[in-house]
């Protein structure tokens, strides 16, 4: 078995859990293979773009959060609300923070507002990840979603026979 076949075999159960959580109770093996292949290619794209940004930004193989964010933007996972030109003009036309008075915390409020504006796409992504669709995926996978920690649930020894097997798709 080649490394690519092994990776595809390891990805297949995760894709089956995601499809089950999305409401699909059965699928042809060719469909599951196609969705697994698409997911693998997408993860490969994210990894390649992260490595590219890591080498381009700081000539180091260890990526930073900024490198990952830029790769997610390249892959269409994070969609910026404005274009680069719009952001540049906004920054040029925006009043500097030093012009805001310290009284009543106005400078701090403006700095907080700008930070929230800059990270809006990341917050939307986090909200989506923590949302109900992904909680269902974690529940189907047998992870504890009540704490948000993603710990595997302990199943009683006799309970395995009662659980449905979503890994068979015929």
- Flag whether 167 is in a domain: no
Q: How many domains does the chain have?
A: 1
Spatial contact of 143 and 152, defined as CB atoms under 8 Å apart: yes
- Low-confidence spans in the chain with pLDDT less than 70: 144-170
- Flag whether 24 is in a domain: yes
Paired with 143 in beta bridges are 152
The C-alpha atoms of residue 43 and residue 80 are separated, in whole angstroms, by 20
The C-alpha atoms of residue 97 and residue 111 are separated, in whole angstroms, by 7
- Flag whether 130 is in a domain: yes
**What is the CATH classification number for the domain harbouring 89?**
1.10.20.10
The C-alpha atoms of residue 8 and residue 14 are separated, in whole angstroms, by 10
- Flag whether 97 is in a domain: yes
**Can you give the pLDDT at residue 142?**
75
**Rg, C-alpha atoms of the chain:** 22
- Flag whether 161 is in a domain: no
- Flag whether 170 is in a domain: no
- Flag whether 159 is in a domain: no
pLDDT in tens, 50-85: 999 999 999 988 999 889 989 998 998 887 777 778
Q: Residue 85: give the domain boundaries.
A: 3-153
**Residue 167: both structure tokens together:** 């890994």
């Amino acid at each position: 078995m080649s490394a690519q076949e092994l990776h595809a075999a390891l990805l297949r159960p995760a894709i089956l859990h995601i499809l089950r959580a999305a409401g699909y109770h059965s699928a042809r093996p060719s469909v599951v293979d196609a969705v697994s292949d698409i997911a693998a290619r997408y993860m490969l794209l994210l990894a390649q773009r992260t490595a590219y940004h890591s080498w381009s930004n700081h000539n180091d193989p260890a990526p930073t959060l900024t490198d990952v964010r830029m790769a997610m933007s390249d892959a269409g996972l994070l969609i910026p609300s404005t274009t680069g030109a719009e952001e540049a003009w906004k920054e040029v036309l925006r009043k500097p923070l030093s012009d805001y008075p310290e009284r009543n915390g106005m400078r701090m409020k403006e700095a907080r507002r700008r930070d929230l504006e800059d990270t809006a796409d990341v917050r939307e992504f986090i909200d989506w990840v923590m949302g109900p669709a992904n909680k269902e995926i974690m529940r189907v996978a047998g992870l504890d979603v009540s704490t948000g920690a993603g710990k595997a649930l302990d199943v009683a020894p006799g309970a395995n026979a009662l659980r449905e097997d979503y890994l068979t798709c015929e």
